[in-house]
Amino acid sequence: MADWQPKPGDKIVRPRRIRTHHLRRVLGVPALFSIGYGDVGSSIYYGLGVVALFALGATPIALGAAGVIYILNALTYAEGSAMLPEGGGSASYARLGFNDLVGFISGWALMLSYIATMAISAYTIPAYLAYFWPVLKEPVAGTLFAMAIIFFLMTVNVIGIRESASLNITFITVDILTQLGLVVAGIVLILIPNPMVLWQHMFGAGNWPSAGNLILGIAFAALCFTGVESVSQHGEETRHPERRMPQAYILMIVVVLVLFAGVSLVALSTMTPQALGDPVNGWARDPIAGIANGISQLISPRETAAHITSSVELQIVLSWALQALRNALPVLVAILAATILLVATNAGLLGISRLTYNLSSRRQLPATLARVHYRFRTPYVAIILFCLVSLVLLTPGFVSPNFFSELGALYVFGSLLCFALAHAAILALRWRRPDLKRPFKLSGNVRFLGHELPLTPILGLLSTGTVWMIIMVIQPFSRWAGLLWMAVGFMVYYLYRRLRGMSLTHADKKRS
């Protein structure tokens, strides 16, 4: 063999070098915050009304309880994303902490929450745009408009038009400033002059919920505190993820809790809890528009200007400015809400494409679902398939008056299941893989059988698991629809792994 030489006519074949393409690490804390807040910040535009539908005057308390769960979730994902800076979020944590099957269950539940996010965000947009076109408040017109939004975003994402991170940061900044403005205006115009109105709307006759509805309100309040998974999906695109992803999570905790507390208190100062939670004649689908409408009605330009200053010239200028604010506030909220909700809908679709790619690359889903279009270079199969599922979820909106809350419950089913598995996975990794490098390590640890376990994931597992069980018991639609979704996913996973002769729990093992 050492003396072998090619002969005339021999064809020499040289193996092609396989190039591995990695995502560019370009994201910093502002971009990560805008991605996460685009999800969690948008949820207040619809989640507040869903919570009020059940929690009534205890809505701020329900949001506060869910906020504690959100803190536990964010801290768990801060450790997990710094430790495993790859797309997949809870699916990656569960796969490494347990096995491929548990990782798939977490990823498939997360897929359901993304699809429900798309549906509920798109369904809420027409309610805000009804300020300009009142017909969109009608069930048929509103549902058709929401479906058109899903179809539009499906087309855009298949073609491959990319979103701009800087544009998202701008929208998020304007959104935060607008919500802060509403909170300040509500405090100045309502709470300070008449603090008893909040007390009456919270604790007055008929405004306090039953114990069962309060628990249900806390469960639905989890709908408002999303966004942790959206950030974790971008670990491979983040510069120095071990530092910047935990920083983004901590910033989200502070901003979200302050804003949501202020918005919920101002909402109940502006209107009764019955008006806030009424999905037909109230503001359940567009609660922030209800706040803006109530505040604008309370603004009396001339009286307010005269109260602030005695100068006639300043009164004229101030009166004109207040009148402009009164006219512009509902318009600004309608446009901004529709924009932020559109970003949230698209973020759900982007999350689906990234998650599908992650699961298929780990041989937890067929590679067909992650197939890339030959021309547009986008995962068109996953985009089209899951957009169709989201369209199916919207169909009850034509006839069902309970559709809005049922869609929210379906989101809670998926998100709380993957949150619980994320907490369990972080605990399992502390137990089984204490050697892993943890750039951000949770403090407040307890020692058990020689292992160091963080307290916050323990509390997070107990709280998210408990709320998930409550939703399972008291929400038939989300229970059966959620279980059907999980059963279909397991069947796909089972057939795929068995046909490839693979173990259900470990991709590197053959079927026994």
pLDDT digits (tens, 9 = 90+) for 432-467: 988 888 888 888 888 888 788 999 999 999 999 998
Is residue 474 in a domain?
yes
Q: Give the strand pairing for 451-454 and 445-448.
A: antiparallel
Predicted local confidence at residue 486, as pLDDT:
95
Q: Look at residue 308 and tell me whether its pLDDT is greater than 50.
A: yes
Is residue 427 in a domain?
yes
Mean pLDDT of 151-166: 73
Is residue 3 in a domain?
no
Predicted local confidence at residue 480, as pLDDT:
92
Is residue 23 in a domain?
no
- Return the SS3 of 444: coil
Domain count, the chain: 1
Angstrom distance (rounded) from CA 164 to CA 16? 35
Q: Look at residue 482 and tell me whether its pLDDT is greater than 60.
A: yes
Angstrom distance (rounded) from CA 183 to CA 295? 10
Angstrom distance (rounded) from CA 226 to CA 152? 24
pLDDT in tens, 139-157: 899 999 999 999 998 888 8
What is the 3 state secondary structure string of 311-338?
CHHHHHHHHHHHHHHHHHHHHHHHHHHH
Is residue 83 in a domain?
yes
Angstrom distance (rounded) from CA 282 to CA 270? 13
Percent of the chain at pLDDT > 90 equals 19
Q: Look at residue 19 and tell me whether its pLDDT is greater than 50.
A: no
Q: Residue 444 has which token pair? A: 């407040």
Angstrom distance (rounded) from CA 304 to CA 295? 13
Is residue 11 in a domain?
no
Give me the DSSP letters along 107-171. Answer: HHHHHHHHHHHHHHHHHHHHHHHTTT-GGGGSHHHHHHHHHHHHHHHHHHHHHTPPPPHHHHHHH
Q: Residue 77 has which token pair? A: 């994902």
The answer to whether the Cα torsion of 225, 229, 235, 238 is positive or negative is: negative
Distance from CA of residue 512 to its chain's centroid?
A: 39
408: CB partners within 8 A, 6+ apart = 46, 47, 50, 116, 120, 220, 223
pLDDT in tens, 211-227: 888 888 888 887 777 76
**CA atoms lying within 13 Å on the CB side of residue 331:** 5
Predicted local confidence at residue 304, as pLDDT:
65
Q: Look at residue 378 and tell me whether its pLDDT is greater than 80.
A: no
Q: How many CB atoms lie within 10 A of CB 342?
A: 18
Predicted local confidence at residue 143, as pLDDT:
92
Segment (H or E) for 199: helix 196-203
Predicted local confidence at residue 460, as pLDDT:
93
Is residue 135 in a domain?
yes
Predicted local confidence at residue 16, as pLDDT:
44
22 pLDDT band, cuts 50/70/90, is very low
Q: Look at residue 205 and tell me whether its pLDDT is greater than 80.
A: yes
509 pLDDT band, cuts 50/70/90, is low
Q: Residue 345 has which token pair? A: 């809908």
Predicted local confidence at residue 98, as pLDDT:
92
Predicted local confidence at residue 24, as pLDDT:
54
Predicted local confidence at residue 151, as pLDDT:
92
CATH number for position 289: 1.20.1740.10
Is residue 510 in a domain?
no
Mean pLDDT of 367-373: 76
Helices (H), 271-379: 273-277, 287-298, 301-308, 312-361
Domain that holds residue 114: 29-499
Q: Look at residue 293 and tell me whether its pLDDT is greater than 90.
A: no
Question: Which range in 61-70, 326-335, 416-425 is most confidently predicted, on average pLDDT?
Answer: 416-425
What is the residue whose two structure tokens read 């100062």?
269
Q: Residue 66 has which token pair? A: 């869910």
Q: Among candidates 251, 223, 266, which has minimal Cα distance to 471?
A: 223
Angstrom distance (rounded) from CA 90 to CA 84? 10
What is the residue whose two structure tokens read 């038939």?
476
What is the residue whose two structure tokens read 């971009």?
31
Mean pLDDT of 188-199: 84
Q: Look at residue 246 and tell me whether its pLDDT is greater than 50.
A: yes
Mean pLDDT of 299-319: 70
Q: Look at residue 243 and tell me whether its pLDDT is greater than 80.
A: no
The average confidence (pLDDT) of the chain is: 82
13 pLDDT band, cuts 50/70/90, is very low
Q: How far apart are the first and last CA of the chain?
A: 41
Q: How many CB atoms lie within 10 A of CB 508?
A: 8
Q: Look at residue 182 and tell me whether its pLDDT is greater than 80.
A: yes
The answer to whether the Cα torsion of 351, 72, 27, 226 is positive or negative is: positive
- Return the SS3 of 370: helix
